Structure 1
Amino acid sequence: MKILLVTQYFYPETFKSTDLAFELQKRGHEVTVLTGIPNYPEGKIYESYGFFKNRKQNINGVKIIRSLLLPRGNGGGIRLFLNYYSFAFFASIKAFFLGISNTYDAVIVHEPSPITQFYPALLLKKLWKTPVYFWVMDLWPESLSIAGGVKNKMVLGYYESVVKNFYKNSEKILITSKGFRKSINEKGDFDSKIVYFPNWAEDSISEGDKNYPIPTLPDGFKVMFAGNIGEAQDLDNIMKAALELKQHKKIKFVLVGDGRKMPFVKEFIEENQLQETVHLAGRFPVEAMASFFNKAEVMLVTLKDDPIFNLTVPAKVQAYMSASKPIVAMLNGEGAENIKESESGFAVNAGDYKALAETILKASELPKEELEKLGQNARKFYEENFRMSECITNLENILNAKNQ
């Protein structure tokens, strides 16, 4: 098939869209990616990219076309608005010309947020009737209200109408969490379009180089958090749990990644003198994760206690499972249920930092063999539910159903 993937985020930014494009191309499909100039998460355009540099590329056989956008900067509300809509505007222009010179069997919209990434695909749908497959990884306008702090009813009402229109113009709506179904169906009769399409872990994590060079990590019982350090991840309560465990010197929190909450984390560490027990490793490529994970005793996943997050399964759950690591979680909903069902670790309620601290302390006292068993359970559950090869095969079947 000839496939266009529309996504604001793509390699060298670390998102599932990269896996999807490269794997589909490897399987013999002709894949073009319409994306933005990489600037996530720092908010600055990556080195070797720019308004006049590497706007067109070919990587692993995938044709990449990079639309203009305004970088997200420090992630403030106005700057994010301009970042989102500048991509939607300029990518729609690119999509118009792509539609004139190409006929696509399918357009896939990768939407971890914002919802505005759908606009270029909508143009192709309206002008050339190209079927659009909407890969929903974040619910709007709920996310705008809860994570973005937007409370204006007119604004939320506007985005609800936009979302309904996008769902209406989708051939299929691919959801990463079964809990999304209820929210989507509340906006219209879309149940027949909805297909469960879970996240997977990158091969570089599950089968990566465990000897990738990384900084020396502290000795002790390492509780590792890897990924975006943002508002949704509830760093406030992670830090409170670390403070609760301050006197237990053998327990070391290791944070791998970066994001909007990093200034808060650094300030909290400084104010509470947690330098001995909280280690900030910094941001590293996906290829380094196997090496980091290999050094950890348990992996940490957290989400705030909000209705939208309770419907979400963080992608790091699959990543941790793929690496055969036991998991400590502070979250509600489907993510917690996965951990309990798989018997791969421990889950406490979202926001309950005291219970998190107690759970970590108990985990640190478990025999090594028991932790290894939890890790084995995690890997087994991953192989049965979240392998990339099976997920992509499922997607091919979904796309083929329309084109047969």
Structure 2
Amino acid sequence: MLVNKSFLLISTNYFPEPTATGKYNGELIDWLIKKGHNCTVITTYPHYPFWKVQSPYKGRFFKKETFSSANYGKLTVYRCPCYIPSVPSGANRLLMESTFLFSSLFIIARLLFKKKLDYILAIAPPFHMALPALLYRFFKKAIVIFHIQDLQVDAAQGLGMLNNKLLFNLLYKIERMFLKKADFVSSISDGMIRKIKLKINREVILFPNWVDTNQLYYIKDKTVLKNKWGYSDNQFICLYSGGIGEKQGLDTIINAANLLKHNNKFKFIICGSGQYKSTLQQMADGYNLQNVHFLPLQDKAVFNEFLNMADLHLIIQKSQAGDLALPSKLTSILATGGITLVTANPQTSLYDLITKYDVGYICKPENPQSLVDELLNISTENIEGKKLNAISYARKHIHIDNVIAEFLLKIN
């Protein structure tokens, strides 16, 4: 068991970002300091999923934030300026990540003259966060953990975000070097681990995303919750809550809603922020859809009720996404006993999890008719058993205390 250690986390995403990698990074550091570990974070200013620096931050210069408590470890956060694109295309994201890498090196240089840190957590994406971590290790002999939330280079190629073959060859070569040189490599799903092992033959630790089941939990009475958000008890609420980017393929929801536009039972909610949201709104307007509602990200104070309000949760991915990432929204859905309908191909982590633990339903990716067929089937089924399975899975397999404690044992 690790006692009174020091950690450095390097990532473009951190608290107070409400979703995805920033959310998990913030929760990880919070957990560590509450266990008495001292933590340092090198990050930029909160921007995801809005793709602009969030108030009260300005994001123009370097900023140091310190937090301490008599009962907890100390926390120091260094926020580095970097380019934040309003339209995060492949090229724009590459520029953003390069500017952050450059500015983060100034903080690494500063830390070389301070007391040695024990563990360095380099969080990908971006995959080149391993570089400042390895540079620090070269001088200070710390242990580098390269944690992969998303196979960024594979995703950029598979989803057509970049189209330069020579550039991809270079990026894969650099990625393999980082995978080889890190002391530990970890990732969030068995499928992603299989893909990493195809790149390099080495051990990869399973470090899945987690959920705090004390904060997100099942609420039985949906009637009050539906009324709170303006829906009636007899409406079947299909909810997508998360990032709204082109890679998710959320146009499948709009096209499915169009097929059901004359069925008053089904209501579709798309909740979140992202550069593709306006495109989806234009599609819905073009079809004159009254059964699709767009909502902003919900506050943390009401998020548990919001998730419980839905009859069905939609996890939509393009076919090419496969095991390039595992949707982080799944952990919250399972904790609330939510039933999921996912678009996934066989022999992927998402497909395997849903079928093995019987916590949801599956339809074909990028196929609106398949989505509609499953919706019609699910709306008439008894899904109580799947709800219990989801809650049980969350408590046994992805509770935050169990996941992080087990990971620390593996790197000790």
Same fold (TM over 0.5): yes
CA RMSD of aligned residues (A): 2.4
Answer yes or no: is 1:269 the counterpart of 2:284: yes
Q: Shift in Å at residue 19 of structure 1? A: 0.7
Given that 2:14 and 2:43 are in contact with CA atoms closer than 8 Å, whether structure 1 keeps it comes out as: yes
Given that 1:223 and 1:296 are in contact with CA atoms closer than 8 Å, whether structure 2 keeps it comes out as: yes
Q: Shift in Å at residue 104 of structure 1? A: 0.8
| Correspondence for 2:198 among 172, 177, 186 | 186
Q: Distance between the aligned counterparts of 2:324 and 2:49, measured in 1?
A: 24
Aligned equivalent of 2:81: 68
Flag the 1:49–1:212 CA change in 2: closer, same or farther, 3 A. farther
Q: Shift in Å at residue 64 of structure 1? A: 1.2
Given that 2:12 and 2:43 are in contact with CA atoms closer than 8 Å, whether structure 1 keeps it comes out as: yes
Aligned equivalent of 2:120: 107
Given that 1:178 and 1:196 are in contact with CA atoms closer than 8 Å, whether structure 2 keeps it comes out as: yes
| Correspondence for 2:313 among 292, 299, 316 | 299
Flag the 1:257–1:234 CA change in 2: closer, same or farther, 3 A. same
Flag the 1:295–1:65 CA change in 2: closer, same or farther, 3 A. same
Given that 1:312 and 1:334 are in contact with CA atoms closer than 8 Å, whether structure 2 keeps it comes out as: no
2:309 maps to amino acid: K
Q: Shift in Å at residue 231 of structure 1? A: 2.1
Flag the 1:339–1:351 CA change in 2: closer, same or farther, 3 A. same
Deviates more, 1:200-209 or 1:98-107: 200-209
Aligned equivalent of 1:234: 249
Aligned equivalent of 1:121: 133
Alignment: residue pair count: 392
| Correspondence for 2:55 among 41, 47, 51 | 47
The percent identity for this pair of structures is 23
Q: Provide Cα deviations, 1:214-264, integer angstroms capped at 9, x if missing partner.
A: 972433110111111112221121211111111111100111111121011
Q: Distance between the aligned counterparts of 1:212 and 1:8, measured in 2?
A: 35
2:342 maps to amino acid: A
Aligned equivalent of 2:390: 378
Answer yes or no: is 1:83 the counterpart of 2:91: no
2:350 maps to amino acid: G
Answer yes or no: is 1:198 the counterpart of 2:208: yes
Aligned equivalent of 2:168: 156
Q: Distance between the aligned counterparts of 1:214 and 1:229, measured in 2?
A: 26
| Correspondence for 2:13 among 9, 17, 20 | 9
Deviates more, 1:122-131 or 1:384-393: 122-131
State the TM-score, normalizing by the size of structure 2: 0.89
Q: Distance between the aligned counterparts of 1:213 and 1:5, measured in 2?
A: 40
Q: Distance between the aligned counterparts of 2:373 and 2:49, measured in 1?
A: 32
Flag the 1:247–1:54 CA change in 2: closer, same or farther, 3 A. farther
2:294 maps to amino acid: L
Flag the 1:52–1:140 CA change in 2: closer, same or farther, 3 A. closer
State the TM-score, normalizing by the size of structure 1: 0.91
Q: Distance between the aligned counterparts of 1:228 and 1:147, measured in 2?
A: 16
Q: Shift in Å at residue 288 of structure 1? A: 3.2
Deviates more, 1:57-66 or 1:388-397: 57-66
Flag the 1:256–1:54 CA change in 2: closer, same or farther, 3 A. farther
Q: Distance between the aligned counterparts of 2:61 and 2:138, measured in 1?
A: 31
Q: Distance between the aligned counterparts of 2:90 and 2:156, measured in 1?
A: 11
Q: Distance between the aligned counterparts of 1:359 and 1:186, measured in 2?
A: 34
SS of residue in 1 equivalent to 2:248? coil
| Correspondence for 1:244 among 259, 273, 276 | 259
Q: Which runs of 5+ in 1 are unaligned?
A: none
Q: Distance between the aligned counterparts of 2:251 and 2:198, measured in 1?
A: 32
Q: Which runs of 5+ in 2 are unaligned?
A: 69-73
SS of residue in 2 equivalent to 1:365? coil
Given that 2:81 and 2:100 are in contact with CA atoms closer than 8 Å, whether structure 1 keeps it comes out as: yes
| Correspondence for 2:28 among 15, 20, 30 | 20
SS of residue in 1 equivalent to 2:247? coil
SS of residue in 1 equivalent to 2:362? strand
Flag the 1:79–1:27 CA change in 2: closer, same or farther, 3 A. same
1:196 maps to amino acid: L
Given that 1:48 and 1:54 are in contact with CA atoms closer than 8 Å, whether structure 2 keeps it comes out as: no
Flag the 1:65–1:354 CA change in 2: closer, same or farther, 3 A. same
